[in-house]
Amino acid sequence: MLLARDRSTAIHSRNVSKYAMTIGTALGLDSNDMKELYVAALLHDCGKVALPDKLLKTPRSYTRWEKQMVQQHVVIAKKLLVNLGFSNKILDGIYYHHERYDGMGYVEGLKGDSIPLFARIIAIADVFDALTSKRPYRDPLSIQQAIHLLKESKGQFDEELLGIFLRYINKSYVDTIKSN
């Protein structure tokens, strides 16, 4: 679905799923949770299929209205997937992946451990891949720049999960993820 519409979003989703699996493995999640985490990460941006290409590919910062439109992708995704038999863990991972640990995220403004685990994992993987990938509005950041920004994003992420993720990040690891 994503690949047919937007190759870069499909590649991003694949990368996010691989980064998320790294965190899940380090946490010792069981095989069922790992499968569900993979699906949630792979589908985390599927709601973007309902947004116009012009909006998704804009080469500048979003206006306030455009930002509100893009933020609806998680609501759209949940509406698309809720009746397809996906577990609540998968749906929650997708719906809440833009919440922030400090409560300043969206859609519900959840805070801390009230944010579902899958969403906290996907949030880290999502931001890291977004930072290290080319976007319509900027070139990719280096791994070191992305790590610095993640560390400086106080309150955005679950610090324990971020620490786990950062233990695995190096150039060869990222190159492997992005090349497969």
Is 48 an annotated catalytic residue?
Answer: yes
SS3 annotation, the chain: CHHHHCHHHHHHHHHHHHHHHHHHHHHCCCHHHHHHHHHHHHCCCHHHHHCCHHHHCCCCCCCHHHHHHHHCHHHHHHHHHCCCCCCHHHHHHHHCCCCCCCCCCCCCCCCHHHCCHHHHHHHHHHHHHHHCCCECCECCCCHHHHHHHHHHCCCCCCHHHHHHHHCCCCHHHHHHHHHC
Q: Which of 18, 35, 48, 134 is catalytic?
A: 48
Residues annotated as catalytic (active site), given as ranges? 48
